[in-house]
Amino acid sequence: AQSVAQPEDQVNVAEGNPLTVKCTYSVSGNPYLFWYVQYPNRGLQFLLKYITGDNLVKGSYGFEAEFNKSQTSFHLKKPSALVSDSALYFCAVRSSSGTYKYIFGTGTRLKVLA
């Protein structure tokens, strides 16, 4: 069965510091991995995805994520956090074979402190 784990309910980081939001997954077959962000009172917005190729994926707003197959992880990173990055972040996975069902994590709330 597919699953996604976001082990941290909340991450606090000072503005200007690097940030990491963790995600691990379990899926049969090759994974398609996604990060979405949800700002207050707004819908989910796509940030980036890993399908194949380079393990380091760059996305919107300066975010990037690294696919690590051996650790089954897809952590979201940004070199320098902004207060405006404060939001709820979701990791999602879909198997490359079979179902078109996407499995989402429980979300991690990122709070960037000025």
Binding test (CB under 8 A) with another protein, winner from 43, 53, 70, 114:
43
The number of beta carbons lying within 10 Å of the beta carbon of residue 8 is: 17
Among 40, 53, 70, 100, binds another protein (CB under 8 A): 100
How many C-beta atoms surround the C-beta of residue 48 within 10 A? 19
**Binding segment for another protein among 20-28, 44-52, 62-70, 74-82 (CB under 8 A)?**
44-52
Structural tokens at position 99:
């179902």
Q: Residue 41 corresponds to which tokens in the numbers above?
A: 């009172």
Q: Which of 7, 12, 39, 46 binds another protein (CB under 8 A)?
A: 46
| Paired tokens of 3 | 């699953």
Contact status: 45 vs another protein (CB under 8 A) = yes
